A and B are shown apart, each in its own frame.
Chain A
Amino acid sequence: MVAVMKEDLSALIEVRHLSKRFGNQVVFEELNLDVYEGEVLGIVGQSGGGKSVLLRCLNGLERVDGGEIRFFGDDVAKMSGRAMRHVEASSGILFQDGALFSALTVLQNIQVPMREHISLPNNIMDELAYLKLSLVGLPANAAHKYPSELSGGMRKRAGLARALALDPKILFLDEPTAGLDPIGASEFDKLIGDLQATLGLTVFMVTHDLDSIFAICDRVAVLADRHIVRTGSPFEMARDPQHPWIKAYFCGARARAVLHGDGTTIEDDAEIRPQHPI
């Protein structure tokens, strides 16, 4: 199935032979990964295994020690400043706690990328910001609040609105459901799924939340032993783990609870396709 995708879908991001070290500690070695257009890719792996470091490397927030990262076919390391700005404007990131600028209101936060990358008339910028606010499910009266006045879930939504400000092609999410209660987490999963489907986003999601993996991920890449050991749909992983860590993760008690909450057995899954919430 993966082979089929490679033939008829272009990879937005290609990572080849990536290596990264912190001092003597090797984080990645020979890491290869493709992110295809229009998919929701979940990155799973041990905590401290470098999932967030990978996300930071892809966004140029960490220097890599070897290998190359190609965005839209061009090597990031050899890009001109102008092309780099284009890449920046066409990718949005949601950090773990939203990373909203604390001195700005929610509305101003959403407008930061608009002011930075393009010039827009104020009335259109306001209209667009209110639209994004509504798209992520925040009430209009949240617009003039400061991040410290919002709850954790609302901060994440506001962070998502900021990430979506310029209609990015690709959206990076760092542990989007961490710290949310189960109801908030599943609402957030649904929000990401809905936005992904309607806006045609490509989503790169670092997570360890099994519920979100089965709810919205088309494909999962497993980061273990310093490289991507396997990619495939979460259901394939659960059926045929192949790797001890994947087995522990996708066939553990929690995964079984997510998969078989309705009393089905693992054999039944062969027939069940991932059901998207919408």
Chain B
Amino acid sequence: MAIVGENSDGHSQQRRRRRADKRGGIAAASNRPDLEWSRDGESIALRVFGDWQVRDVRRLAVTIRKLKFANRAGNGKSVFVDMAGLTALDTAGAMLLLDMKDHLSAQGYVVSLHKVREADEILFQLISRHPREKSEIVQKRSMVLSLIRDVGAVVVSLWRDVIEMTAMVGQVTVALLMLCIKPWRIRYTSLIHHLEHAGLKAVLIISLICFLIGAVIMQQSVEQLRAYSAEHFSIDMLGILALREVGVLLTSIMIAGRSGAAFTAEIGSMKMREEVDAMRALGIDPVETLIVPRVLAMLIALPLLTFIGDIMCLAGGAMIASQMLEIDLQSFMQRLNDGVEIRHFYVGLIKTPFVAVIIGIVGTLEGMRVRGSAESLGTHVRASVVKSIFLVIVLDAMFAIALTAIGI
């Protein structure tokens, strides 16, 4: 400390110097750390030298384990640890030396450290003040119990989904009825915005996939029915399939992935930043401002998109038909008109409002469930897409069974 006194910037210089000797530049050659011992009459001399640092800890741990005398009972023998050769020490190295000391003491040796430099002494003291063992035991559940627990958790969360969705449907219905009475309270700006993003901007992608799927269905059915010389019936088949199922299903799944996820992300990020709470605090109803415009936009956009999807499906079929069946558009339309009743188109279209409500409600509900963190947002966006696609398909299946049963 004497060197410090004369310096004008005393205490900081002192700290700088305290360990300066241990920390040579990074390029400086490191001294290989090691441990040697010899028997000296009744006592044991242990010499520590080199750089005891974290990068050599694995090897040093092995060296310590191999100390033969350390595994025998000490019976009060003395161990003198000579630290004179120690050139550098960090927390990991110091921890290892202290562990060794503790182990030797536990074996019944009397351990004493010699020639410890002042800076290393500070480090030893620091480390011996802090616990380094696991102070708590992590409980391990058995496989069977954790399986039962997981199944239970899933059932509970499913039940909660049902309840929350029912509640949300109720809230949205009430809000919609209110808006029927007071139509000037509809958020038109928001509604138009969502119509543009969920409706208009989806036209191209929906047209493209429906056109391609229509073409594929046509191509495959012509190929298969040709064996029975019934290839012209493939137009009837395409018509019924496209209008009843394919158009509406493809559109709904696409929109569930596209807009449902967007709804969850938008509302979820607002929820994360406490914007939704701010709205409530300012007396604005989040159901009316956030959820209703989105559900309403879905209700308007989905039937229109489904109609576009139906037409593009048929167009794809017509293109293939002109190639494989060699009939022109005029006769394709004629055939379609004769073979496919208009009720099939209505069956497809009647499903769209239900699907729209599912996508809108699931998307916004999952958004409202987002809590604080970004992981929560990711989890809920995924849940939103999976749930809405699943529910859309379940709904479609229920409609197919019910409508066929009553002969429509």
Contact = CB atoms under 8 A, between A and B. Distances in A.
A73 interface: yes
Contact of B132 (A9, A72, A131, A167): A131
B375 A102 contact: yes
B: contact size bracket: 35 or more
B90 interface: yes
Contacts, number: 135
Given A131-B127, A233-B9, 18 more contacts: A10-B25, A39-B12, A73-B25, A124-B96, A128-B54, A128-B95, A130-B132, A131-B95, A143-B134, A144-B136, A148-B372, A167-B90, A196-B15, A200-B15, A200-B18, A219-B12, A273-B11, A276-B11
Contacts of A130: 131-134
A: contact size bracket: 35 or more
Contacts of A166: 54
Contacts of B372: 148
Interface of B: 7-12, 15-20, 22-23, 25-27, 53-55, 57-58, 61, 90-92, 95-96, 99, 119, 122-123, 126-127, 130-136, 138, 372-375
B20 A37 contact: yes
21 contacts: A1-B8, A4-B8, A5-B9, A36-B16, A39-B16, A71-B26, A89-B55, A90-B26, A118-B57, A124-B57, A124-B96, A126-B134, A130-B131, A131-B91, A131-B131, A135-B130, A144-B136, A148-B373, A167-B91, A200-B20, A273-B9
Contact of A141 (B55, B61, B135): B135
B407 to A, nearest CB: 54
User: Shortest 10 CB-CB distances between A and B: which pairs?
Assistant: A200-B19, A38-B16, A134-B130, A167-B90, A218-B12, A72-B26, A131-B132, A140-B135, A72-B25, A127-B132
Given A131-B130, A274-B11, A121 B58 contact: yes
Interface in A115-133: 117-121, 124, 126-128, 130-132
Contacts of B10: 273
B343 to A, nearest CB: 53
Contacts of B23: 37, 169, 200
A87 B94 CA distance: 22
Contacts of A40: 12
B332 to A, nearest CB: 55
A86 interface: yes
Contacts of B8: 1, 4
B26 A38 contact: no
Contacts of A274: 11-12
Contacts of A119: 58
B119 A200 contact: yes
Contact of B123 (A141, A199, A219): A199
A219 to B, nearest CB: 8
Given A102-B373, A131-B132, A200-B19, A144 B95 contact: no
A72 B90 contact: no
A144 B27 CA distance: 38
A200 B14 CA distance: 11
Most chain A Cβ neighbours within 10 Å, of B12, B18, B27, B126: B12
Contacts of A10: 25
